[in-house]
Structure 1
């Protein structure tokens, strides 16, 4: 059983005009077996939250805390956070020319587990994960994200999720750039992860369409670097119908 606890998190980023505050006191708890969806307009700080938890050096933590099962995440290096059980599916996965998908996955698994997976079972596991995500077995020979379509990049991220098997998955706009078929495949992969005991999911999205396939337990409205409102799945339906206008007006007061 795992718990990611974010308390009063404040984050800034350096700009030409000096530090700019992005997160202005975010408090969230993602417990085992829970899926939390964060929705909000562009520029509200959703991706900043994801990257700050993962340890991106661009972002400076100026206040608050993040703990995973009581351990201080913010004192950990990026690789230590991954070994502790955090996983980030990026909105824009980067290309890694010259590194094959199969080598990348095995190296990541070895780094997280502290030992190399047994080759025979690992090949079977990788092929199974790729097949479930409608990726051809030859996909493993291609360089990571090089020349991948948007759908291939996102499906590869979910293959990583399945094989690395973290405690908490942070999914940053995993639905962006997907057609309906790829969206269903990606959602099925996330749901397989969720069905395991003790897993938590923080799902960042602009749109409710992915929430038709991945049913959240909680929905949070993110505006101006803060959680402006929280509720159940019905809150996503309200946002679909009414937009963020009332929350933006309240934040401007």
Structure 2
């Protein structure tokens, strides 16, 4: 049986934050169009994985390798990783005062287009697509003209992350608790967008403990992170077991 070449390959990644080594050794392969759910107790290293891959300066890679479409991700600056096709959402998206949402997204999109030797989108062409994408996600078009996330509710901030995702169309997207603060319609919007983008080839790594959304996403794999390592791999049954029993080790039947 032929397996597709992974778009993201992580090997023995070790990451230090401050004085603590948070990721001890993490390895995983992510195929184009696939969806992996990452679960783990607080402090197990889930967000650290995403932020280290994104190039956050507080997250120091001590060893290991990460390849995005065959390119050495760890040798690139943070903005170069984004241009190469990596998208990492914030668990708590920050405000960006004074920067309009539409300008922020269009600037990021045109930077990616330039990296692919594609012509930039002018404001008119960008806005027509952005308004439709916002409508699909339940965001009023008026929010495109407001400063990034300023005055947005928690759910609106997460939908705004999804708007950026839908416009940037990355090769790999790591979504960190994207369901947090979302209502039922918001979760449906997440699932619909992920399904559409997976069909177009985007691979997803989703950090979540919300079983209903995980079941709707129908992941290819579920990984449990513990003490900075992948302690267990499985499918939906693993997610259901964690949702029912938590992260404490389960007794082995005699």
Identify the TM-score tier after normalising by the shorter chain: over 0.9
Secondary structure of 2:27's counterpart equals strand
Counterpart of 1:209 (choices 207, 212, 224) is 212
Report the TM-score when normalising by structure 1. Answer: 0.92
Gaps of 5+ in 2: none
Residue 132 of structure 2 aligns with which residue?
128
Judge conservation of contact 1:23–1:48 (CA < 8 Å) in 2: yes
Alpha-carbon distance in structure 1 between the residues aligned to 2:33 and 2:236: 16
Q: How does 1:1-253 map to 2 (within 5 A)?
A: 3-14=7-18, 19-114=19-114, 115-196=119-200, 198-246=201-249
Q: TM-score, normalised by structure 2?
A: 0.92
Name the CA distance, whole Å, in 2 between partners of 1:221 and 1:113.
36
Shift of 1:200: 0.7
Is the 1:100–1:144 Cα contact (8 Å) retained in structure 2?
yes
Q: How many residues align?
A: 244
1:149-196 Cα shifts (integer Å, max 9, x gaps): 011011111111110011000101101121222222222222221121
1:23 alignment partner, SS class? strand
Deviation at 1:116, TM superposition (A): 2.0
Unmatched tracts of structure 1, length 5 or more = none
**TM-superposed deviation, 1:10:** 0.3
